[in-house]
Amino acid sequence: MKTSARLGILILSTCLLIPPAANAQVEQLYGTWRLVSLVQEVVGSGERRDVLGKAPQGFLHYGGDGRMSVIIVRENRPKPAEWLKMTDPERADLFKTMNAYAGTFKVEGSRVVHNIDISWNESWTGTAQPRNFRIDGRTLTLRTDPAVSPIDGRQGTLVLVWEKIQ
């Protein structure tokens, strides 16, 4: 068989293995998203609680190269008077009111898995963080699997709503 024929068969078989809808779904994630809301839903009761205040801030980026990054901060974070002379309690408060990490991502059906290479909290580095996702127009909703909250010890999921930046 000629090399060009083998190459054609390889390309065709690869295209058949990846459904076009899956490619479109991945491509919809590409770009930068601004955080709209972040709430914890308590398992069982459905109670909803703003985790980082009513107006947390954040950005999430998914690149066509398979890399992602995210930073999220609580609303109204205190600003130290002098950043070079910040006190240890000021540093701790700033650390406790943010999340940030970067790594690679892959889509598995309706889940996106963040494989973390670097993180604000070293215990997350090297872990895989799955998120259920739904895209509706310019809105992306990510939902974590149920887990015990380090804040209040209750079982719940985090629901993050993002809006695509133009």
User: Which tens digits make up the pLDDT trace of 15-74?
Assistant: 444 444 457 778 999 999 999 999 999 998 889 999 899 999 999 999 999 999 999 999
How many domains are there within the chain? Answer: 1
pLDDT band at 2 (very low <50, low <70, confident <90, very high): low
Buried b (16+ CB within 10 A) or exposed e, 114-133: bebeebeeeebeeeebebeb
| pTM of the predicted structure, to 2 decimals | 0.82
Query: What is the extent of the structural domain holding 126?
Result: 3-164
Look up the CATH number of the domain holding residue 122.
2.40.128.280
Alpha-carbon span 140 to 18, nearest angstrom: 23
Cα distance between residue 100 and residue 158, in whole Å: 15
